Amino acid sequence: MTSLPTIATVIGSGTMGPGIAATLARAGATVRLYDISDEAIARAESAYGIVTGVLEAVGSPTVPGGSVSFGTDLDEALAGTGLIIEAVPEKLELKQKVFADIEARVGDDVIIATNTSGIPITTMAESMSHPGRLIGMHWSNPPHLIPMIEIIPGQATDLALVDKLVEIVKAFNYTPVVEKEIPGFVENRVLYAILRECMALLEEGIVTPEGLDACVKWGIGYKLSVVGPTRLLDMAGLDIYQAVSSYLNKELDVSTDTPQFIKDKIAAGQLGFKSGGGMYEYGEGDVDAKRKEIITGLIAARKTLSSIPNV
Ligand SMILES: NC(=O)C1=CN([C@@H]2O[C@H](COP(=O)(O)OP(=O)(O)OC[C@H]3O[C@@H](n4cnc5c(N)ncnc54)[C@H](O)[C@@H]3O)[C@@H](O)[C@H]2O)C=CC1
Ligand SMILES: Cc1ncc(C=O)c(C(=O)O)c1O
Protein backbone atom coordinates (compact mmCIF):
# COMPACT_ATOMS: atom_id res chain seq x y z
CA MET A 1 0.00 0.00 0.00
CA THR A 2 1.40 3.40 -0.96
CA SER A 3 2.02 5.96 1.78
CA LEU A 4 1.24 8.80 -0.61
CA PRO A 5 -1.82 10.74 0.63
CA THR A 6 -4.87 10.42 -1.62
CA ILE A 7 -5.21 14.20 -1.78
CA ALA A 8 -2.29 16.66 -1.66
CA THR A 9 -2.30 20.45 -1.90
CA VAL A 10 0.45 22.66 -3.29
CA ILE A 11 0.24 26.31 -2.17
CA GLY A 12 1.98 28.63 -4.66
CA SER A 13 2.14 27.83 -8.37
CA GLY A 14 5.22 29.75 -9.52
CA THR A 15 8.58 28.26 -10.54
CA MET A 16 8.31 25.25 -8.21
CA GLY A 17 4.57 24.53 -7.77
CA PRO A 18 3.66 22.98 -11.15
CA GLY A 19 6.61 20.52 -11.14
CA ILE A 20 5.88 19.47 -7.55
CA ALA A 21 2.18 18.99 -8.35
CA ALA A 22 2.94 16.97 -11.49
CA THR A 23 5.37 14.68 -9.65
CA LEU A 24 2.79 13.84 -6.96
CA ALA A 25 -0.01 13.40 -9.51
CA ARG A 26 2.01 10.97 -11.63
CA ALA A 27 2.49 8.87 -8.50
CA GLY A 28 -1.31 8.66 -8.18
CA ALA A 29 -2.28 11.58 -5.92
CA THR A 30 -5.18 13.95 -6.50
CA VAL A 31 -3.34 17.27 -6.37
CA ARG A 32 -4.80 20.72 -5.92
CA LEU A 33 -2.54 23.56 -6.99
CA TYR A 34 -3.54 26.83 -5.36
CA ASP A 35 -2.48 30.43 -6.04
CA ILE A 36 -3.84 33.87 -5.27
CA SER A 37 -4.64 35.21 -8.74
CA ASP A 38 -6.15 34.04 -12.01
CA GLU A 39 -3.00 35.27 -13.81
CA ALA A 40 -0.79 33.05 -11.66
CA ILE A 41 -3.10 30.09 -12.29
CA ALA A 42 -3.04 30.71 -16.06
CA ARG A 43 0.79 30.73 -15.99
CA ALA A 44 0.77 27.57 -13.89
CA GLU A 45 -1.53 25.74 -16.32
CA SER A 46 0.81 26.59 -19.15
CA ALA A 47 3.90 25.57 -17.11
CA TYR A 48 2.16 22.34 -16.13
CA GLY A 49 1.74 21.46 -19.82
CA ILE A 50 5.49 21.87 -20.35
CA VAL A 51 6.32 19.88 -17.19
CA THR A 52 4.08 17.02 -18.34
CA GLY A 53 5.87 16.92 -21.69
CA VAL A 54 9.23 16.72 -19.89
CA LEU A 55 8.02 13.87 -17.67
CA GLU A 56 6.86 11.98 -20.75
CA ALA A 57 10.28 12.53 -22.32
CA VAL A 58 12.11 11.05 -19.31
CA GLY A 59 9.75 8.08 -19.33
CA SER A 60 8.43 8.84 -15.85
CA PRO A 61 5.86 6.14 -14.99
CA THR A 62 2.24 7.15 -14.32
CA VAL A 63 0.12 5.58 -11.59
CA PRO A 64 -3.53 5.69 -12.75
CA GLY A 65 -5.91 7.96 -10.86
CA GLY A 66 -3.60 10.92 -10.30
CA SER A 67 -4.66 14.40 -11.37
CA VAL A 68 -3.92 18.10 -10.90
CA SER A 69 -6.60 20.77 -10.56
CA PHE A 70 -5.91 24.50 -10.37
CA GLY A 71 -7.69 27.19 -8.39
CA THR A 72 -7.78 30.33 -6.27
CA ASP A 73 -10.22 29.06 -3.62
CA LEU A 74 -8.24 28.05 -0.52
CA ASP A 75 -11.15 26.15 1.10
CA GLU A 76 -11.54 24.02 -2.02
CA ALA A 77 -7.78 23.46 -2.29
CA LEU A 78 -7.58 22.22 1.31
CA ALA A 79 -10.75 20.12 1.56
CA GLY A 80 -9.86 16.53 2.51
CA THR A 81 -6.13 17.04 1.98
CA GLY A 82 -3.54 14.88 3.75
CA LEU A 83 -0.39 16.75 2.74
CA ILE A 84 0.13 20.45 2.13
CA ILE A 85 3.29 21.67 0.42
CA GLU A 86 3.89 25.40 0.75
CA ALA A 87 5.81 26.98 -2.15
CA VAL A 88 5.15 30.72 -1.84
CA PRO A 89 7.95 33.35 -2.12
CA GLU A 90 10.87 33.12 0.32
CA LYS A 91 9.57 35.67 2.86
CA LEU A 92 9.16 34.67 6.49
CA GLU A 93 6.12 36.86 7.24
CA LEU A 94 4.31 35.71 4.08
CA LYS A 95 4.91 32.05 4.87
CA GLN A 96 3.73 32.54 8.47
CA LYS A 97 0.54 34.22 7.21
CA VAL A 98 -0.05 31.32 4.81
CA PHE A 99 0.41 28.78 7.65
CA ALA A 100 -2.13 30.69 9.77
CA ASP A 101 -4.65 30.64 6.89
CA ILE A 102 -4.06 26.92 6.43
CA GLU A 103 -4.24 26.00 10.12
CA ALA A 104 -7.63 27.71 10.38
CA ARG A 105 -8.97 25.33 7.74
CA VAL A 106 -7.49 21.86 8.32
CA GLY A 107 -7.44 19.21 11.07
CA ASP A 108 -4.47 18.91 13.46
CA ASP A 109 -3.20 15.74 11.78
CA VAL A 110 -2.58 17.25 8.33
CA ILE A 111 1.11 17.55 7.46
CA ILE A 112 2.31 21.00 6.45
CA ALA A 113 5.58 20.81 4.53
CA THR A 114 7.49 23.90 3.45
CA ASN A 115 9.67 24.12 0.37
CA THR A 116 11.68 27.00 1.86
CA SER A 117 15.20 27.23 0.44
CA GLY A 118 16.63 27.60 3.92
CA ILE A 119 14.63 29.67 6.41
CA PRO A 120 14.87 27.68 9.68
CA ILE A 121 11.75 25.57 10.22
CA THR A 122 11.87 26.41 13.95
CA THR A 123 11.57 30.14 13.18
CA MET A 124 8.69 29.63 10.76
CA ALA A 125 6.81 27.39 13.22
CA GLU A 126 6.98 29.95 16.07
CA SER A 127 3.73 31.62 15.00
CA MET A 128 1.79 28.37 14.46
CA SER A 129 -0.85 26.94 16.77
CA HIS A 130 0.43 23.38 16.05
CA PRO A 131 4.16 23.83 15.33
CA GLY A 132 4.73 20.06 15.55
CA ARG A 133 3.09 19.57 12.14
CA LEU A 134 5.52 21.79 10.17
CA ILE A 135 8.46 20.15 8.44
CA GLY A 136 10.95 21.21 5.76
CA MET A 137 10.59 19.46 2.39
CA HIS A 138 13.13 21.09 0.11
CA TRP A 139 12.80 20.15 -3.55
CA SER A 140 15.54 21.11 -5.97
CA ASN A 141 14.75 23.04 -9.17
CA PRO A 142 13.38 21.71 -11.54
CA PRO A 143 11.42 19.65 -9.00
CA HIS A 144 10.01 17.18 -11.53
CA LEU A 145 13.53 16.27 -12.73
CA ILE A 146 15.75 16.26 -9.62
CA PRO A 147 14.81 13.06 -7.75
CA MET A 148 16.11 14.09 -4.33
CA ILE A 149 14.36 15.92 -1.48
CA GLU A 150 15.84 17.26 1.74
CA ILE A 151 13.70 16.59 4.81
CA ILE A 152 14.32 18.92 7.74
CA PRO A 153 12.54 18.74 11.09
CA GLY A 154 12.57 21.89 13.21
CA GLN A 155 12.96 21.85 16.97
CA ALA A 156 9.19 21.55 17.46
CA THR A 157 8.49 19.09 14.64
CA ASP A 158 6.78 15.86 15.68
CA LEU A 159 9.52 13.30 14.88
CA ALA A 160 6.96 10.76 13.63
CA LEU A 161 6.48 13.17 10.72
CA VAL A 162 10.02 12.57 9.56
CA ASP A 163 9.36 8.87 9.00
CA LYS A 164 6.01 9.62 7.38
CA LEU A 165 7.56 12.08 4.95
CA VAL A 166 10.43 9.70 4.15
CA GLU A 167 7.84 7.07 3.16
CA ILE A 168 5.88 9.61 1.11
CA VAL A 169 9.01 10.67 -0.78
CA LYS A 170 9.97 7.05 -1.44
CA ALA A 171 6.42 6.42 -2.71
CA PHE A 172 7.14 8.65 -5.70
CA ASN A 173 10.62 7.18 -6.17
CA TYR A 174 12.65 10.14 -4.96
CA THR A 175 15.62 9.89 -2.58
CA PRO A 176 14.87 11.45 0.83
CA VAL A 177 17.81 13.03 2.67
CA VAL A 178 17.04 13.66 6.35
CA GLU A 179 19.06 16.48 7.89
CA LYS A 180 19.45 18.37 11.14
CA GLU A 181 18.21 21.93 10.89
CA ILE A 182 20.75 24.56 9.84
CA PRO A 183 20.18 27.78 7.83
CA GLY A 184 20.22 26.98 4.10
CA PHE A 185 20.09 23.25 4.81
CA VAL A 186 22.75 21.09 3.15
CA GLU A 187 22.14 21.57 -0.56
CA ASN A 188 22.02 25.35 -0.53
CA ARG A 189 24.96 25.65 1.89
CA VAL A 190 27.10 23.73 -0.59
CA LEU A 191 25.64 25.52 -3.62
CA TYR A 192 26.05 28.96 -2.05
CA ALA A 193 29.64 28.19 -1.00
CA ILE A 194 30.36 27.42 -4.66
CA LEU A 195 28.41 30.47 -5.89
CA ARG A 196 30.19 32.79 -3.43
CA GLU A 197 33.57 31.78 -4.76
CA CYS A 198 32.34 31.92 -8.38
CA MET A 199 30.96 35.45 -7.97
CA ALA A 200 34.19 36.60 -6.29
CA LEU A 201 36.25 35.22 -9.20
CA LEU A 202 34.04 37.10 -11.67
CA GLU A 203 34.13 40.31 -9.63
CA GLU A 204 37.93 40.20 -9.50
CA GLY A 205 38.11 39.58 -13.28
CA ILE A 206 40.01 36.30 -12.84
CA VAL A 207 37.91 34.53 -15.47
CA THR A 208 35.13 35.34 -17.94
CA PRO A 209 31.54 34.12 -17.31
CA GLU A 210 31.94 31.71 -20.26
CA GLY A 211 35.24 30.40 -18.88
CA LEU A 212 33.81 30.02 -15.38
CA ASP A 213 30.79 28.10 -16.67
CA ALA A 214 32.97 25.72 -18.71
CA CYS A 215 35.42 25.18 -15.83
CA VAL A 216 32.75 24.47 -13.22
CA LYS A 217 30.57 22.40 -15.55
CA TRP A 218 33.33 20.00 -16.58
CA GLY A 219 35.83 20.25 -13.73
CA ILE A 220 33.25 20.04 -10.93
CA GLY A 221 29.68 19.37 -12.10
CA TYR A 222 30.48 16.46 -14.41
CA LYS A 223 32.61 14.65 -11.82
CA LEU A 224 30.34 15.37 -8.86
CA SER A 225 27.29 14.15 -10.78
CA VAL A 226 28.88 10.70 -10.71
CA VAL A 227 30.86 10.46 -7.46
CA GLY A 228 29.67 12.90 -4.76
CA PRO A 229 32.12 14.94 -2.65
CA THR A 230 32.90 12.27 -0.05
CA ARG A 231 33.83 9.61 -2.62
CA LEU A 232 35.71 12.27 -4.59
CA LEU A 233 38.13 12.65 -1.67
CA ASP A 234 38.86 8.92 -1.76
CA MET A 235 39.41 9.17 -5.51
CA ALA A 236 41.74 12.18 -5.22
CA GLY A 237 43.49 11.03 -2.01
CA LEU A 238 43.01 12.55 1.45
CA ASP A 239 46.70 13.52 1.47
CA ILE A 240 46.16 15.62 -1.65
CA TYR A 241 43.14 17.25 -0.01
CA GLN A 242 45.28 18.09 3.03
CA ALA A 243 48.13 19.43 0.91
CA VAL A 244 45.87 21.71 -1.16
CA SER A 245 43.45 22.78 1.59
CA SER A 246 46.38 23.76 3.86
CA TYR A 247 47.27 26.70 1.56
CA LEU A 248 44.03 27.20 -0.40
CA ASN A 249 41.30 27.35 2.26
CA LYS A 250 42.63 30.60 3.68
CA GLU A 251 42.55 32.19 0.20
CA LEU A 252 38.87 31.46 -0.45
CA ASP A 253 36.25 34.18 -0.40
CA VAL A 254 34.61 34.73 2.99
CA SER A 255 32.36 37.72 2.23
CA THR A 256 29.06 37.71 4.09
CA ASP A 257 26.94 39.87 1.76
CA THR A 258 25.74 39.59 -1.84
CA PRO A 259 28.44 40.93 -4.22
CA GLN A 260 27.97 44.58 -5.25
CA PHE A 261 27.92 43.80 -8.99
CA ILE A 262 24.94 41.48 -8.47
CA LYS A 263 23.12 44.17 -6.46
CA ASP A 264 23.81 46.64 -9.28
CA LYS A 265 22.34 44.27 -11.86
CA ILE A 266 19.22 43.75 -9.76
CA ALA A 267 18.83 47.52 -9.33
CA ALA A 268 19.02 47.83 -13.13
CA GLY A 269 16.22 45.23 -13.52
CA GLN A 270 18.55 42.48 -14.69
CA LEU A 271 17.23 39.38 -12.93
CA GLY A 272 18.09 36.64 -15.42
CA PHE A 273 15.72 34.66 -17.66
CA LYS A 274 12.65 36.22 -16.04
CA SER A 275 13.67 39.76 -17.12
CA GLY A 276 15.39 38.86 -20.39
CA GLY A 277 18.93 39.46 -19.12
CA GLY A 278 21.13 38.98 -16.06
CA MET A 279 24.58 37.45 -16.06
CA TYR A 280 24.29 37.10 -19.85
CA GLU A 281 22.33 39.20 -22.36
CA TYR A 282 19.52 37.54 -24.32
CA GLY A 283 18.06 38.62 -27.65
CA GLU A 284 14.61 37.84 -29.05
CA GLY A 285 13.82 34.12 -28.51
CA ASP A 286 17.12 33.39 -26.75
CA VAL A 287 15.61 32.78 -23.31
CA ASP A 288 13.16 30.19 -24.64
CA ALA A 289 15.95 28.54 -26.60
CA LYS A 290 18.21 28.40 -23.51
CA ARG A 291 15.41 27.02 -21.35
CA LYS A 292 14.85 24.26 -23.93
CA GLU A 293 18.57 23.45 -24.10
CA ILE A 294 18.76 23.21 -20.30
CA ILE A 295 15.72 20.91 -20.04
CA THR A 296 16.95 18.74 -22.91
CA GLY A 297 20.35 18.46 -21.21
CA LEU A 298 18.80 17.63 -17.83
CA ILE A 299 16.59 14.96 -19.41
CA ALA A 300 19.59 13.33 -21.13
CA ALA A 301 21.77 13.56 -18.00
CA ARG A 302 19.04 12.15 -15.75
CA LYS A 303 18.56 9.17 -18.09
CA THR A 304 22.30 8.49 -18.01
CA LEU A 305 22.70 9.01 -14.25
CA SER A 306 19.70 6.74 -13.56
CA SER A 307 21.33 3.96 -15.56
CA ILE A 308 24.69 3.90 -13.74
CA PRO A 309 25.39 2.62 -10.20
CA ASN A 310 25.57 4.95 -7.20
CA VAL A 311 29.31 4.87 -6.56
N1 LIG B 1 13.09 28.76 -7.60
C2 LIG B 1 13.91 27.81 -7.14
O3 LIG B 1 14.91 27.42 -7.78
C4 LIG B 1 13.62 27.16 -5.83
C5 LIG B 1 12.77 27.74 -4.91
N6 LIG B 1 12.55 27.14 -3.71
C7 LIG B 1 11.69 27.77 -2.71
O8 LIG B 1 10.32 27.48 -3.06
C9 LIG B 1 9.49 28.59 -2.69
C10 LIG B 1 8.78 29.09 -3.92
O11 LIG B 1 9.75 29.51 -4.84
P12 LIG B 1 9.37 29.82 -6.37
O13 LIG B 1 8.43 28.80 -6.88
O14 LIG B 1 10.68 30.03 -7.03
O15 LIG B 1 8.63 31.21 -6.18
P16 LIG B 1 7.81 32.03 -7.30
O17 LIG B 1 7.91 33.45 -6.91
O18 LIG B 1 8.18 31.60 -8.67
O19 LIG B 1 6.30 31.51 -7.06
C20 LIG B 1 5.60 31.75 -5.86
C21 LIG B 1 4.11 31.70 -6.14
O22 LIG B 1 3.45 31.88 -4.90
C23 LIG B 1 2.31 32.68 -5.16
N24 LIG B 1 1.87 33.30 -3.92
C25 LIG B 1 2.23 34.48 -3.37
N26 LIG B 1 1.55 34.67 -2.22
C27 LIG B 1 0.76 33.58 -2.05
C28 LIG B 1 -0.17 33.19 -1.06
N29 LIG B 1 -0.43 33.95 -0.02
N30 LIG B 1 -0.82 32.02 -1.22
C31 LIG B 1 -0.58 31.23 -2.29
N32 LIG B 1 0.31 31.55 -3.26
C33 LIG B 1 0.96 32.71 -3.14
C34 LIG B 1 2.76 33.68 -6.23
O35 LIG B 1 1.63 34.22 -6.89
C36 LIG B 1 3.63 32.79 -7.09
O37 LIG B 1 2.88 32.20 -8.15
C38 LIG B 1 10.42 29.61 -2.02
O39 LIG B 1 10.41 29.42 -0.65
C40 LIG B 1 11.77 29.28 -2.64
O41 LIG B 1 12.84 29.70 -1.81
C42 LIG B 1 13.09 25.92 -3.39
C43 LIG B 1 13.88 25.27 -4.31
C44 LIG B 1 14.26 25.87 -5.57
C1 LIG C 1 20.46 29.79 -6.96
C2 LIG C 1 19.52 28.81 -6.29
N3 LIG C 1 19.06 29.11 -5.08
C4 LIG C 1 18.23 28.25 -4.42
C5 LIG C 1 17.84 27.05 -4.99
C6 LIG C 1 16.99 26.17 -4.23
O7 LIG C 1 16.57 26.42 -3.09
C8 LIG C 1 18.32 26.72 -6.27
C9 LIG C 1 17.98 25.43 -6.98
O10 LIG C 1 18.41 25.29 -8.12
O11 LIG C 1 17.28 24.54 -6.45
C12 LIG C 1 19.17 27.63 -6.92
O13 LIG C 1 19.68 27.36 -8.15
pLDDT at 1: 57
Q: Assign residue 178 the CATH number of its domain.
A: 3.40.50.720
Is 311 among the domain residues? no
- Pair 252, 296 in one domain: yes
| pLDDT tens sequence across 201-257 | 999 999 999 999 999 999 999 999 999 999 999 999 999 999 999 999 999 999 999
Ligand 2 test: best mutation among 86, 115, 138, 140, most atoms within 8 Å of CB? 140
- Which of 183, 205, 231 marks a domain boundary? 183
- Pair 98, 212 in one domain: no
Q: Which helix (H) or strand (E) holds 74?
A: helix 74-78
Question: What whole-number distance in Å separates Cα of residue 166 and Cα of residue 156?
Answer: 18
Instruction: Report which ligand 2 atom has the smallest distance to the Cα of 140.
Output: 11
- Pair 260, 111 in one domain: no
Is 1 among the domain residues? no
Domain that holds residue 50: 7-183
Is 123 among the domain residues? yes
- Which of 183, 215, 230 marks a domain boundary? 183
Is 57 among the domain residues? yes
Is it the case that residue 2 has pLDDT exceeding 80?
Answer: no
What strand order describes the sheet that includes 148-153?
67-71, 30-34, 7-11, 83-86, 111-114, 134-139, 148-153, 175-178
- Pair 150, 21 in one domain: yes
DSSP codes, 47-58: HHHHHHHHHHHT
| Mean of the per-residue pLDDT values of the chain | 96
pLDDT at 310: 86
- Pair 22, 162 in one domain: yes
Closest residue (by CA) to atom 9 of ligand 2? 141
pLDDT at 4: 95
- Pair 190, 119 in one domain: no
Within a 13 Å sphere around the CA of 185, how many CA atoms are in the beta-carbon half? Answer: 26
Question: What whole-number distance in Å separates Cα of residue 298 and Cα of residue 49?
Answer: 18
Amino acid letter, 91: K
- Pair 166, 207 in one domain: no
| Entry pTM | 0.94
- Which of 155, 183, 211 marks a domain boundary? 183
- Pair 204, 152 in one domain: no
Question: In 10 A of CB 187, how many CB atoms?
Answer: 19
Question: What whole-number distance in Å separates Cα of residue 249 and Cα of residue 252?
Answer: 5
Ligand 2 test: best mutation among 15, 90, 115, 117, most atoms within 8 Å of CB? 117
- Pair 133, 93 in one domain: yes
Q: Is 33 in the pocket of ligand 1 (CB under 6 A)?
A: no
Look at the chain and report how many structural domains it folds into. 2
Is 213 among the domain residues? yes
Question: What whole-number distance in Å separates Cα of residue 98 and Cα of residue 86?
Answer: 8
Closest residue (by CA) to atom 43 of ligand 1? 140
- Pair 123, 73 in one domain: yes
Is 2 among the domain residues? no
Is 99 among the domain residues? yes
- Pair 44, 141 in one domain: yes
Is it the case that residue 13 has pLDDT exceeding 90?
Answer: yes
Question: What whole-number distance in Å separates Cα of residue 31 and Cα of residue 53?
Answer: 18
Q: How far is the CA of 108 from the centre of ligand 2 (A)?
A: 31
Q: Assign residue 208 the CATH number of its domain.
A: 1.10.1040.10
E strands in the chain: 7-11, 30-34, 67-71, 83-86, 111-114, 134-139, 148-153, 175-178
- Pair 48, 130 in one domain: yes
Question: Which bound ligand lies closest to the C-alpha atom of 184?
Answer: 2
Q: Is 71 strand, coil or helix?
A: strand
DSSP state at residue 277: B
Q: Which residues face 86 on adjacent strands?
A: 11, 114
Is it the case that residue 116 has pLDDT exceeding 60?
Answer: yes
Question: What whole-number distance in Å separates Cα of residue 297 and Cα of residue 308?
Answer: 17
Amino acid letter, 241: Y
Per-residue confidence band for 100, with pLDDT thresholds at 50, 70 and 90: very high
